[in-house]
Amino acid sequence: MTAETNIRSGWQVPAAEEESYSRLSVPAIFSAVFGLGTFLVFFSPWFFFMGVTALLLSFSALWTISRSGGNVAGRTFAFFGLGSALTAVVAAAVFWACYQYAVRSEADKFFRLWFAAVRQQNLPAAKEFQRFYPYRSKAGDAESWWKEQYADRNAHYAVHQFAENKLLRVLLALGSKAQVTYYKMSGFHSTGDDDTVSVVYAVTFPSAAGGAETFFVKMTGKRLYPPASANFTAAAWRLEGTPEIYVPEEFFPHGGTPQSGKK
């Protein structure tokens, strides 16, 4: 073996070691981190962006690795991030859909109880729906409730404002003639244990001409868990504001603006 062969062989060994070395893909590592973080979407939909980021990073890492000819590693991290993000996003989508349906069903029952109280001309019960259940008046009858309201100046004023509501007066006048049907859910907002739901109802009643007329009512309610001091562990609902007559957006096909409180 000549000296030239020895020198050539000596240079070939480190060259082979260099070719076998591959660096770890940084996007692949971050895709795994964001993939795990995607599971936070179960606590709030705002974390959905982590799933989108994990998907983009994992696809970018896999594309880079496949074109590197073995010089870039991290395929396992990229697939882990991809799988975690997809699993979390799909599971969270199903979870939030079921959660919204359950809360919307609760809201529908709550709003229908308000309509029933107004239909029965039970003004105290209808007014108390504007307070969370643990804080509602404990008066056992209407007479005691009215005395309780008149004893407090602010409460007295609030009752008068409530009684002057146009929608309330219309529903009281219609009584059992008003048929209330679910129209659509117009809003849903969830923050931790706090849920706010808006539902539009169609109210149909017989007209003087012999047919039927319909107007719409938008109801907004808030659902949350009262503080421990209330000694009440179940979620409670409260009517947000006083319901008003409402015109749905789809009745303005040319870009008009619906206005509440107008028939």
Following DSSP, what letter does each residue of 196-216 receive, concatenated? EEEEEEEEEEE-TTSSEEEEE
Mean pLDDT of 4-12: 50
Provide the b/e sequence for 34-46 (b: ≥16 CB within 10 Å): bbbbbbebeeeee
Q: Is the dihedral of CA 45, 49, 50, 51 positive or negative?
A: positive
Over the stretch 122-176, which tens digit does the pLDDT of each residue have?
A: 888 889 898 888 788 887 788 888 888 888 888 888 888 888 888 988 998 898 8
pLDDT digits (tens, 9 = 90+) for 214-261: 999 999 999 987 766 666 667 789 999 888 888 888 777 665 555 554
Q: How confident is the model at residue 67 (pLDDT cuts 50, 70, 90)?
A: confident
Cα-based distances in Å from 80 to 49, 51, 140, 215? 17, 12, 61, 53
Kindly state the percentage of the chain with pLDDT values over 90: 17
Instruction: Specify the pLDDT at position 3.
Output: 53
**Which stretch, 28-37, 68-77, 110-119, has highest mean pLDDT?**
110-119
Three-state DSSP at 245 gives: strand
Tell me the mean pLDDT in the region 57-84.
84
Q: What is the mean pLDDT of the chain?
A: 81
pLDDT of residue 116: 92
Distances in Å between the Cα of 221 and the Cα atoms of 5, 21, 135, 166 are 87, 62, 16, 19
d(C-alpha 69, C-alpha 121), whole Å: 79
Kindly give the pairing relationship between strand 23-24 and strand 72-73: parallel
